[in-house]
A and B are shown apart, each in its own frame.
Chain A
Amino acid sequence: MSRRLRQLIAPGAWGVLVLLTWEGFVRWRKIKLFLLPPPSRIWRELRENRSGILHVTSNTGTNALIGLVLGVIAGVVMALVAQRFVALRDAITPLSAALNTMPIVAIGPIFYNLFGTTSAIPRRAVVAIVVFFPIFLNVVNGLTQTEATHEELLRSYAASDASVLWKLRMPNALPFLMTGLKLAASLAVIAAIVVEYFGGLQNGLGSRVTSAMKSSATARGWAYIAGACALGIGFYSVVTAVERVAMPWRRRRSD
């Protein structure tokens, strides 16, 4: 059996187990539908409202994706600038570590005020900001935490700063970028959903979940949540695939 297949089977089996337990628990304790609907009910909701959920999920997914790409580009560019100027790096890195914890509840309204609630920009900008920090911090580390022997080696060849950046720092930062990217991919989806709670266009998963829950259509709310899960899994899988392609030397011996 191939490794890839085995990697899929384990989480799949766990997923099924969780769903079965959930279904059994809800039926056994006769939990009220508006509190926690069983998976079977959510599934029915998903099928009946398929095109609607798909549409809303793709709206949020687009916001998350655009924000993610922008945030990653900004994070990498800023990291490259920061590693070049030590003074800047020392100033900016602790600052970003602090800003990293800034909650969406604080920045969401600012951007809605700035760009208006009928624009898609605020939501994407918030995603980009949330994504920026883990990427920036990880890439700065990767660019600067190089092995002493490697640095001396390049120095012994009288390599230029540009060569050191290109041949040592950047490849050294790649695994760090991937770690940041995995974090960022999940964060992007969460941010894109949560930012909708604070206003703006009502065409995404976040607003649909809130309105469904408010009107006690809990099963419908959970169907949207399932859409959010699918988005999260999708983003994560893409990043894992990118990782495999970008770092072929990381592939371990196949047994």
Chain B
Amino acid sequence: MTDVVAMSGLSKVFNPGRANQVDALLEIDLKVSAGTFVSLIGPSGCGKSTLLRVIADLTPPTGGTLSVNGKPAAQARADQDYGMAFQAAGLFDWRKVVRNVELPLELRRMGKAERRTRALAMLELVKLPDFAEHYPWELSGGMQQRVAIARALAADPPLLLMDEPFGALDEMTREHMQAELTRICAATQKTVVFVTHSIPEAVYLSDRVVVMSPRPGRIVKVVDVDLGARTDDMREQPQFFKKVTEVREALRGIGAGAPRGVDDR
């Protein structure tokens, strides 16, 4: 299988050589093969978002090698090889829902009729077809997040980069969104790198859970999750709990469970 994301020895230092230098990432080796779902989990400030932003070519790495979709990250960004979703939905207030989903297609210079059809199909996928002509403020937080996911999927990129997209949702909505996301990813064969703070979420969604430690951010453990098809029942199965425990213990090992004196947020 081909690797959609491949990095080796990847490092990121903010403000090198200055008093406020931060070693955000140190010697990260990570391969994400096509069609797999990988979650990044770790204590606040361990560099999860930074890692995602490096893959997205929104900030340059300071060392190591990185290829995205088989090319340099900058080229992958230029080719719109990935779609990104952030913790905040980040919809444009002044655009109706459907026009928000059309945004990446507009930037690809797709024709008007074609991109409308495509955007409506995406809204169908996230189960919001009735809200196409609404403005974002008329939608709940969870619905806005679904629109953001539709937007990330619109241009049909092979790779999805998601940074705590469900962070602000209540538990029930969150589980619902997780089920939707697995359904969508299964249907569209996406490769996903997903940042989260929730252990059950990581286990439920992923083929692999990557546990990171802070300062400098590095990978301490990779937990393979092989639970088969995701259903709501699965959340109550012993195999599920076993994986949750495995991830939790990996996090404990780095002292993430204990309160820390310094928090960067």
Contact = CB atoms under 8 A, between A and B. Distances in A.
Given A156-B56, A156-B77, A156-B82, A249 B107 contact: no
Nearest to A154: B107
Interface in B72-106: 77-80, 82, 84, 86, 88, 90, 92-96, 103-104, 106
B137 interface: yes
A253 B137 CA distance: 10
A157 B80 contact: yes
Contact of A171 (B77, B82, B94, B96): B94
B55 to A, nearest CB: 11
Interface in A50-72: none
Interface in A145-189: 147, 149-150, 152-159, 163, 167-168, 171, 174
A156 B58 contact: yes
B240 interface: no
A79 to B, nearest CB: 18
Nearest to A172: B94
A247 B135 CA distance: 11
Given A157-B80, A167-B107, 10 more contacts: A150-B90, A152-B58, A153-B90, A155-B58, A157-B103, A158-B77, A158-B79, A167-B106, A249-B94, A253-B138
B86 A249 contact: no
A249 B77 contact: no
22 contacts: A147-B90, A150-B90, A152-B86, A155-B77, A156-B56, A156-B58, A156-B82, A156-B84, A157-B103, A157-B104, A157-B107, A158-B77, A158-B79, A158-B80, A163-B107, A167-B103, A171-B92, A171-B95, A249-B96, A249-B135, A249-B137, A253-B138
Contacts of A159: 107
A168 B92 contact: yes
A153 B84 contact: yes
A149 B107 contact: no
Contacts of A158: 77-80, 107
A249 B93 contact: yes
A163 B109 CA distance: 11
Main secondary structure of the interface of B (DSSP, over half): loop
Interface residues of A, number: 19
Contacts of B137: 249
Contact of A150 (B84, B92, B104): B92
Nearest to A158: B78
Contacts of A253: 138
Contacts of A155: 58, 77
A24 to B, nearest CB: 47
Nearest to A156: B84
A164 B149 CA distance: 21
A153 B78 CA distance: 13
Given A157-B107, A163-B107, A249-B137, A149 B90 contact: yes
Nearest to B74: A158
Contacts of B88: 149
Given A153-B86, A157-B104, A247 B94 contact: yes
A157 B90 CA distance: 14
B52 to A, nearest CB: 10
A153 B161 CA distance: 12
B175 to A, nearest CB: 25
B197 to A, nearest CB: 18
Contacts of B135: 249
A153 B91 CA distance: 10
Which of B56, B93, B94 has the largest number of chain A CB atoms within 10 A?
B94
B232 to A, nearest CB: 31
Given A156-B58, A156-B77, A249-B135, A174 B94 contact: yes
Interface in B55-79: 56, 58, 77-79
Nearest to B148: A153
A243 B245 CA distance: 56
Contacts of B56: 156
5 closest Cβ pairs, A-B complex: A149-B90, A171-B94, A249-B135, A156-B84, A158-B78
Interface string A111-149: 000000000000000000000000000000000000101
Contacts of A147: 90
Interface string B196-210: 000000000000000
